[in-house]
Amino acid sequence: MEQEKLQALLKQIEQWHDDNEFSQIIKAIDDLPSDERTPELISQQARAYNNLAVMGDGMTKRENPEIDQAQLEKAVELLQSVAEQSQDNYIWHFRLGYALYFLDREMEALDCFERSRELNPDQDDVDDFIDNCRRILSRKAEDAPEVYTQTEWDVVEDHINTYFGEYLKVFHEITSPDIHVDICLVPPTRERPYYTLVTLGMGAHRMNVPSELADKKLERAELLIALPAEWRLDRESMQDENWYWPIRLLKSSARLPITNDTWLGWGHTIGLNAGETYADNTKFCGAMLTGPLGCTDGAAWCTLPDGDDVNFYQLTPLYEEEIGFKCSNGAEPLLDMFNAANVEYVVDIKRTNLLHESPGTDPDEQLLYNYGPLVMDCALPHLDSIRDKKLPVREICAYNHLAIYLRWCIEHDLMSDIFKRKYRKFVNGVMANQGRPDEQPDLRWLLRNNTDLNGSLLRNYFNGDGAAFAEWYYSSEDYDRSHYFPCDIDNHAREFFGEERYNSEEFQDEAYLFVPWNEDYYQAMARQIDRQFARWQEEAENQPEDDE
């Protein structure tokens, strides 16, 4: 294009620009042969696209400020086509920054504006755009979801595939206001005949763990849940809360540490509001976190490149009564009950409520005796008595009478084979040291410190005769006080202290806790249990056989 003609066109372009006739600029340059479109004209056309996208011809978009993204993209395309010739042109950098800014690409726009200012510090608008870019980027950084780095993602993903199975499907999260939580779906296999759903993304957030646990590396976590192979996970079924609730549970639990500025770890419980359940087809209303169940060693955590651990916890759905029991007594006693009842770790919406509450039952009696066929006795209410009444006895005394009964049953071969194998050291210690009281193991500490026993006597600890005798001698249901072990313990305390002292304020109705723990105490109770056992055998022998 001749120089005179070019200058005339540029003058006309400036006039159209002043009149806000941006489409005229675009059309005039489009009408030129391609070989006449100089880098300057292309830059002018890009400016016109920018202004048309943001302001519109005649500034019409002041009333309807909807930005045309396609016109901005066209401006970027035009400017980048002459990038090589324009690196030292401050106007070119400004116009590219302008397009990128209104495309919400503030980081790229900031680079362009800062380069434009370097080339010409005397511009009127560039500092305002730089300040705006920095302000928007700062706000986005605060609002951006926390995500793993690519390296961290690869480590966590590899851990899931290794320990829980290769996932073939992902429930992707569409919006991620704080963390991006995907749900990895591991299908059933012959080795694992159930679905495993694992979160991937929760661990990008470091939870607010108490300072005293700072060295335990508990700040990061992912969650999983196991569902039966017949669970429906297709798109249509996911519209039904009866099938969708485990996914909702995973997602809401993953965000709980953020919304409540707290943390989740082993033994913690999550619950709904009173009266709510996860779905209409189940009465589950909460869940407890445990380690991964049914998995090989090493599944519980993986270590990230920076040394942080990501801990994996399994969600076990609970009923209202089970949540109450856990909150009062801790996670381990509840897990002991689950183990004793062979509760599966795969979700069963119809499983038995192990702590079903009977109307009108006293809480302590319910704790001790009303949990189906499992719990014979538990030290927890006796511990509560010591603590609540501030009794001047050691807390280990709450385990005295349980230890007496357990030792007698071991000595009389009434324990199950599983119990004898699991606690072989203590069983052998009792049997080998009969007649040597100073060498007898103190079973109170076994009951107190072992996480499986945790202060409880369960019926499945005993063999056939042991369970039958316990049903007769250690049952609260229609029991006869003439053959009830806790009554015999209480009667021994009355005899030991005398009626007057037994009923005095000194013991606050808990005299049995004050009986000195020694071999004389055990032998006195062992003789009483001997008598009751003989009585039970006699009644069993005299019981008429059922008619054929």
Report the alpha-carbon distance of residue 340 to residue 342 in Å, rounded: 5
Alpha-helical runs (H) found in 271-399: 320-329, 331-340, 363-369, 380-388
pLDDT of residue 374: 61
Alpha-helical runs (H) found in 31-125: 39-54, 69-81, 90-102, 106-119
pLDDT of residue 358: 40
Report the alpha-carbon distance of residue 526 to residue 56 in Å, rounded: 99
Residue-averaged pLDDT of the chain = 88
Most confident among 37-41, 219-223, 342-346 (mean pLDDT): 219-223
Fill in the DSSP letter of residue 171: E
Nearest Cα residue to 223 out of 195, 238, 201: 201
Cβ(25)–Cβ(37) below 8 Å: no
pLDDT of residue 360: 38
- Tokens 């005295």 label which residue? 400
pLDDT of residue 539: 87
What whole-number percentage of the chain has pLDDT above 70? 91
pLDDT of residue 544: 63
Coil, helix or strand for 220? Answer: strand
pLDDT of residue 363: 39
pLDDT at 448 over 90: no
Half-sphere exposure (CA, 13 Å, Cβ side) for 469?
25
Say which residue, 406 or 540, is predicted with more confidence: 406
Report the alpha-carbon distance of residue 287 to residue 482 in Å, rounded: 42
**Mean pLDDT, residues 135-144:** 76
Phi, psi torsion values for 138, nearest 5 degrees: -65, -45
pLDDT of residue 153: 94
Report the alpha-carbon distance of residue 400 to residue 380 in Å, rounded: 12
Nearest Cα residue to 266 out of 307, 226, 315, 336: 315
Model pTM greater than 0.75?
Answer: no
pLDDT at 545 over 80: no
Coil, helix or strand for 19? Answer: coil
Tens of pLDDT along 179-200?
889 999 999 998 889 999 999 9
Tens of pLDDT along 303-355?
999 999 999 999 999 998 888 888 877 888 888 778 767 778 899 998 888 77
Q: DSSP letters of 384-417?
A: HHHHHTT-SS-GGGGGHHHHHHHHHHHHTT-B-H
Tens of pLDDT along 346-368?
999 988 887 764 433 343 334 33
Q: DSSP letters of 223-238?
A: EEEEEETT---STTGG
pLDDT of residue 422: 83
pLDDT of residue 368: 37
Report the alpha-carbon distance of residue 548 to residue 533 in Å, rounded: 29
pLDDT of residue 260: 87
pLDDT of residue 337: 78
pLDDT of residue 477: 52
Coil, helix or strand for 315? Answer: strand
Helix (H) or strand (E) holding 456: strand 456-458
Q: Which of 205-219, 338-352, 409-423 has the lowest mean pLDDT?
A: 338-352
pLDDT of residue 154: 94
* Residues ≥6 apart with Cβ < 8 Å to 538: none
Tens of pLDDT along 250-303?
999 999 998 888 999 999 999 988 889 999 999 999 999 999 988 888 999 999
Task: Look up residue 25 and give its two tokens.
Answer: 């600029």
- Tokens 């991964």 label which residue? 292
pLDDT at 158 over 80: yes
pLDDT at 457 over 90: no
What is the pLDDT confidence band of residue 505, given thresholds at 50, 70 and 90? very high
pLDDT at 380 over 90: no
**Mean pLDDT, residues 496-518:** 94
Report the alpha-carbon distance of residue 191 to residue 264 in Å, rounded: 29
**Mean pLDDT, residues 403-423:** 91
* Residues ≥6 apart with Cβ < 8 Å to 285: 271, 272, 276, 277, 278, 318, 319, 320, 323
pLDDT at 174 over 70: no
pLDDT of residue 200: 95
Nearest Cα residue to 466 out of 399, 406, 421: 406
For 455: left if phi > 0, alpha if psi spans -120 to 50, otherwise beta; the answer is: left
Residue 11: other Cβ atoms inside 10 A: 10
Residue 175: other Cβ atoms inside 10 A: 6
